[in-house]
Amino acid sequence: MNWSKYPLIYEINAWTWLNELSRKYHRPMSLANIPAAEWDVLAELGMDAVWLMGVWERSPAGRAIALTNESLKEDFRRALPDWRPEDVAGSPYCVRRYTVDELLGGTEGLATARKNLAKRNVQLILDLVPNHVAPDHPWASDHPDYFIQGDSDDLRRDPASFVQTGGHIYARGRDPYFPAWPDVLQLNAFNAGLRKAAIQTLTTIAEQSDGVRCDMAMLLLNEVFARTWGSRAGQRPADEYWETVIPAVKKKFPDFIFIAEAYWDLEWHLQQQGFDFCYDKRLYDRLEHDNAESARSHLLADPSYQDRLVRFIENHDEPRAAAVFSPQKHRAVATMSMTLAGARLLHEGQMEGRKIRLPVFLSRRPDEPVDPGLRDFYLHLLRMTNQDVFRNGHWALCERNGWPDNSSFKNLVAWCWAAEKERYLMVVNLSNSSSQGLIKVPWEDLRDRTCRLTDEWVDESYDRNGNDLLGPGLFVDLKPWAAHCFHVQAATAQRALSQRKGPERARARSGVEEMEPVRHAH
């Protein structure tokens, strides 16, 4: 199977999903025996890939640490008030071995799941945690040189950051801006042996899947790693970690894709080092906290950079979208994230309006009512965008303007898609007030043609002059958080201006007075 240029990815918490399927079908469920109807649902939604988050063997040692951590237990109570120790499966990012957990169906179960997805033209994505491993990972006893190490003074002075295991004192894994994670050991990205072992691990993952999501990928960049660990890491290598690892895997599996969880504006650096896609956390933050101008300015970046970002408004590390955004804003930002260039990530439960973010340690989640209106919205959005133009077409940001006495056009963001004869124009009002503006399209071949614009949200059509779309622009009037999705079709042999005579033709050239405003709120 070939990847779409802009794939739609569906993240599933594998452990929780199987737990709920077991209750639904009243029998133990693993990756080996999922009913065909469940795979059919994913295919019918139009997913290009399923990311099964958390299939690798989890650490009993890490689980024991979690069960004694008061901060984590408070998090468990917040999400699942009636949680019990048996609900704690351990962290999927505290990996004991890169072998599919037997409780999920083992290696054979995953192979069966992959075959069932492939029958439906859906790819499979798994996890890699490159920065750290569980304290009971075999490397901790067999290859201590793979790790950042400390000494007895470190252990005595800072027991929260160092731990003794197997006769060695290791640094606990960390992000430089936060305290160390208590349940993992820090790998040494500068160690040549570790890099070879990482290639072997990734090769094994590539044999079982079609892509990998790399946790906290920017922590392995030479500059970041050196700044975090200093002399403890040893001599800084000439080559970057990812420049070493990714080509070695792609040499054998050229279609295998790498996705980076990335922060700190380091996405471009990771793209240059071989990642196919990187998280677009910057857009998420702007959609949550800033205005339309801020979001639009982010979309002015070079298209080659935009094409390789992962757009999302929710994932397992972020709060649930339905808890963060008002119902109206939720629909606006979802429309945006699902129709921009780049990969699109949809989190299981997002469509149904779940509001409780589940700690990844837990294998059970609370029951929450489905929001039928939100689910219908997402189903409509997925049907609308399940077309080749949105997966492999050409994306472009559109100009928008207003008038001296009305600056509300700055609340609008507009973009368009084109592929052969298919064209779509998207306009979103990212504000809580009604907004008006003129939207220009970049399609010169529409000049002197009559165009029909069909808004696929409400199935209403409007005839417009192609010259007006090119300039001064399409007049739009959108209510708060509303959106247009126009399917644009040009007449094949009709020259719009030639049909107009005298004053009527003059008015058409003079501006927007002749144009009936397009108004809509969904």
DSSP string of 419-435, one letter each residue: ETTEEEEEEEE-SSS-E
Q: What is the pLDDT of residues 10-64, one digit of tens each?
A: 999 999 999 999 999 999 999 999 999 999 999 999 999 999 999 999 999 999 9
Cis peptide before 359 (omega within 30 of 0): no
Residue 166: the pLDDT is 85
- Residues 6 or more apart from 502 whose CB is under 8 A from it? none
Residue 498 has pLDDT above 50, yes or no: no
Q: What is the pLDDT of residues 339-393, one digit of tens each?
A: 999 999 999 999 999 999 999 999 999 999 999 999 999 999 999 999 999 999 9
Residue 41 lies in a domain: no
Residue 123 lies in a domain: no
Strand, coil or helix: 18: helix
Residue 139 lies in a domain: no
In three-state form (DSSP H/G/I as H, E/B as E, the rest C), the secondary structure along 48-109 is CEEEEECCEEECHHHHHHHHCCHHHHHHHHHHCCCCCHHHECCCCCCEEEEEECHHHCHHHH
Q: How much of the chain exceeds pLDDT 90, in percent?
A: 91
Residue 445 lies in a domain: yes
Pairwise pLDDT comparison (421 vs 519), residue with the higher score: 421
Provide the number of structural domains found in the chain: 1
484 beta partners: 427
Mean pLDDT of 474-486: 96
| Tokens matching residue 414 | 């507009």
Residue 369 lies in a domain: no
Residue 461 has pLDDT above 70, yes or no: yes
Residue 420: the pLDDT is 86
Residue 321 lies in a domain: no
- Residues 6 or more apart from 262 whose CB is under 8 A from it? 217, 218, 270, 275, 278, 279, 281
Here the CATH number for the domain that contains residue 412 is 2.60.40.1180
Residue 516 has pLDDT above 60, yes or no: no
Residue 459: the pLDDT is 86
Pairwise CA distance, residues 258 & 210, whole Å:
9
- Residues 6 or more apart from 517 whose CB is under 8 A from it? 436, 475, 476, 477
Domain that holds residue 463: 393-520
Residue 452 lies in a domain: yes
> What is this structure's pTM?
0.92
Q: What is the pLDDT of residues 229-268, one digit of tens each?
A: 999 999 999 999 999 999 999 999 999 999 999 999 999 9
Residue 353 lies in a domain: no
Pairwise CA distance, residues 138 & 123, whole Å:
30
Residue 492: the pLDDT is 59
Mean pLDDT of 206-216: 98
Pairwise pLDDT comparison (516 vs 209), residue with the higher score: 209
